[in-house]
């Protein structure tokens, strides 16, 4: 058992080493141009060892992105759990939205490399079939986090229909993601920077929208 | 003069013919793969004539997209002018947002090819330098429309600061564009379809957000 656990640990360290090198290469050269050989070189390992861990470039990209997304989602999940504990399961809407947006925005402002990679990796142009598979994988990772946040909105506004809160959370997410992509379907978004003022703004705007929509008109 | 005007008219007809063929090719094959030769063939003209009108593939793509964007912006502008006339320059927030979103969503629901092209063309993957130049060009086209809508929000909520209404409109746009891109920074957005219910939802959510944010807290 001790031996097996050591092997697993070595495998995880090797994966982390490869991921770090892969991120640098994908971000510097794009998905199409980066090669497995270059990534192996950057990681200081043989290419055969790299393909032992990740058969294809696509698989490597997918797993590298998943590592960063999962770390990001974990931060958000932890912030929500802290909030729910503090409020005895009865949070207010603004605090729920803040638990979602603050961990990520704080990390961005502090220049956290992991978060920056997660954001940048989601922006990399991929061949469209890879892109849609990746979306499906990211969606599966994201689903439990999303459910936990909508549950918290239901706890905050128990008289509202879950469906409307779900749509309201979607709308909030759209604003939140616009902070990172800095685009509106091809149009630049100059006002949206990750400043403390805009962070507060999206939370208050989102909460006003969600409260306003909580009951049908 | 008559001759010159006839020449101008022929030039415009030729441009429209080329744009139609270019749109089909770009949408079918992507920017990188579509060639000027294929576009000329699809338009039924010599390649020399095509390059007489549009020197580069990039220029052709840019102008083709601009034609569709401008047509879209004109619809939105006309809806706003109608609203302002009807309300004597004192619209309510919901109606302003509807004047922005309804013309486009109606056209999408009716299957209007022009609007569908505008939406799809903004989603085409471009080499990143072309992409950023295109953004700048689209931004310049869009700026007067955006200003007219923020002006209308100022008229609807005269006690609110323009800056906050501007940010509120940004947030509304983020939700609105999410309807078309069907994505949230890499995450799928299953609830957002262009149904009458979701159209009403984004307008009411946006109006609640804007009203809630109209005065600082």
Q: What is the pLDDT of residues B123-172, one digit of tens each?
A: 666 666 666 777 778 888 889 999 999 999 999 999 999 988 988 998 89
Q: Pick the closest to residue B162 from B149, B176, B144, B143 (CA basis).
A: B149
Q: Which domain holds residue A47?
A: 1-55
Is B46 among the domain residues?
yes
The answer, for B143 touching chain A at a CB cutoff of 8 Å, is no
pLDDT value, residue A198: 73
- E strand intervals along A73-203: 183-184, 187-188
One domain for residues B43 and B70:
no
For residue B32, what is the domain's CATH number? Answer: 1.10.10.60
Give me the residue from A139, A186, A205 closest to B209, CB to CB.
A205
Instruction: Select the more confidently predicted residue: B171 or A135.
Output: B171
Residues B48 and B69 in one domain: no
Does B189 have pLDDT greater than 50?
Answer: no
Taking an 8 Å cut-off on Cβ atoms, the answer to whether B181 and A185 are in contact is: yes
- B78 CB within 8 Å of a chain A CB: no
Binning pLDDT at 50, 70 and 90, where does residue B206 land? very high
Q: Are residues B76 and B149 in the same domain?
A: yes
Residue B183 has pLDDT above 80, yes or no: no
Q: Is residue B98 located within the same domain as residue B192?
A: yes
For residue B193, the model assigns a pLDDT of: 54
Last residue of one domain, picked from the residues B55, B75, B100: B55
Q: β-strands A183-184, A187-188: how paired?
A: antiparallel
Whether B15 and B116 map to the same domain: the answer is no
What is the number of domains present in chain B? 2
Q: How much is the average pLDDT of B37-47? A: 96
Taking contacts as CB-CB distances below 8 angstroms, the residues of chain B near A139 are: 187-188
What gap in Å lies between CA B92 and CA B83, rounded to an integer? 10
Q: Which of B142, B167, B212 sits opposite A208 (nearest CB)?
A: B212
Q: Give, for B52, the enclosing helix (H) or strand (E).
A: helix B47-53
Full DSSP string of B96-154: HHHHHHHHHHHHHHTT-HHHHHHHHHTTS---HHHHHHHHHHHHHHHHHHHHHHHHHHH
B139 CB contacts (<8 Å, ≥6 apart)? A187, A188
Interface predicted TM-score (ipTM) of this complex, two decimals: 0.74
Q: Which residues pair with A188 in a beta bridge?
A: A183
Averaged pLDDT for residues B28-55: 93
Per-residue model confidence (pLDDT) at position B180: 67
| DSSP element (H, E) containing B183 | strand B183-184
pLDDT at position B115: 75
Least confident of A26-30, A53-57, B94-98, B134-138: B134-138
For residues A25 and A183, the model is more confident at A25
Q: CB of B184 within 8 Å of any CB in chain A?
A: yes
> How big is the CA angle at A180 (ends A175 and A184), to the nearest 5 degrees?
60
Domain C-terminal end among B32, B55, B78: B55
Residue B60 placed within a domain: no
Residues B48 and B73 both lie in one domain: no
Q: Do A74 and A10 have their domain in common? A: no
Rounded CA-CA distance A86/A152 in Å is 13
Assess whether B126 and B195 both reside in one domain.
yes
Q: Do B188 and A122 touch (CB under 8 A)?
A: no
Domain match, B49 and B126 both: no
Distances A191 to A37, B150, B151, B174 between C-alpha atoms, Å: 41, 13, 17, 12
Per-residue pLDDT tens for B3-27?
567 778 888 999 999 999 999 898 8
- Are B44 and B127 part of one and the same domain? no
pLDDT band at residue A116, thresholds of 50, 70 and 90? Answer: confident
CB contact under 8 A, B136 and A212: no
- Identify whether B28 is part of a domain: yes
Same domain, B116 and B84: yes
Looking at residue B106, its pLDDT comes to: 81
Among A55, A76, A98, give the residue marking a domain's end: A55
| Predicted local confidence at residue A178, as pLDDT | 73
Residues A102 and A178 both lie in one domain: yes
């Amino acid at each position: 058992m001790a031996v097996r656990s050591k092997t697993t640990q070595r495998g995880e360290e090797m994966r982390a080493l490869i991921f770090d090198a892969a991120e640098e290469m994908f971000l510097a050269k794009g998905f199409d141009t980066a090669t497995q050989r270059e990534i192996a070189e950057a990681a200081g390992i043989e290419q055969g060892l790299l393909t032992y861990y990740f058969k294809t470039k696509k698989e490597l990209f997918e797993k590298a992105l998943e590592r960063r997304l999962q770390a990001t989602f974990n931060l958000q999940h932890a912030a929500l759990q802290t909030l729910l504990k503090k409020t005895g399961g009865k949070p207010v809407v603004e605090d729920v939205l803040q638990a979602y947006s603050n961990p990520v925005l704080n990390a961005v402002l502090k220049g956290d490399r992991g978060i920056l990679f997660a954001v940048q990796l989601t922006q990399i142009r991929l061949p469209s079939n890879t892109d849609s598979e990746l979306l499906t994988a990211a969606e599966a990772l994201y689903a439990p986090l999303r459910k936990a946040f909508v549950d918290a909105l239901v706890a905050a506004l128990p008289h509202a229909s879950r469906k409307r809160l779900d749509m309201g959370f979607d709308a909030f997410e759209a604003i939140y993601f616009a902070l990172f992509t800095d685009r509106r379907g091809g149009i630049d978004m100059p006002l949206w920077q990750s400043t403390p003022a805009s962070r507060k703004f999206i939370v208050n705007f989102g909460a006003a929208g969600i409260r306003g929509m909580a009951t049908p008109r």
